[in-house]
Amino acid sequence: MTALANDLTSLGMAPALASRVGVSNQSLTGVGTAQGGSSPVVYGGTVNRLTTAGGATACTIDSAFPVGQTAIVQTISATTGLLFPPSGGKINNGSANASFSVAQNKTALIYRWSTVEFIVFLSA
């Protein structure tokens, strides 16, 4: 069973522990089409719900994202989102700093494989 982190905190669990074992939602708004323009993609049990529009589609993975950690990005609007690694990073062994497309109404699971590599799985 999964619980929201803020519900666990309201029941008396320490916030740091609640954020590690619970799930939370974050709204992201795409900014431009380049790396580094948006709020960072949050890791550790957070569903990042990306809203995109026209020329505002980019989001960037947080540079503090630990190796071995996962995150989820879900594009909830009609425009494809662009998921960028932090500066110098690679997604699915692509070129450094290249984006990964997350189509409308699709969900991407991100796994940090190493200090510079991310593996991204896209929903069907």
Residue 28: what pLDDT?
A: 87
Helix or strand holding residue 83 (H, E): strand 81-84
Q: What is the pTM of this model?
A: 0.82
Domains and CATH numbers, the chain: 24-122 (2.60.120)
Task: Render pLDDT for 14-30 as a digit per residue (tens, 0 to 9).
Answer: 777 766 666 677 888 89
Task: Render pLDDT for 66-114 as a digit per residue (tens, 0 to 9).
Answer: 999 999 999 999 999 999 999 999 999 999 999 999 999 999 999 999 9
Cα atoms in the 13 Å half-sphere on the side-chain side of 117: 6
Distance CA 111, CA 121 (A): 8
Residue 82: what pLDDT?
A: 94
Contact 109, 90 (CB under 8 A): no
Residue 97: what pLDDT?
A: 97
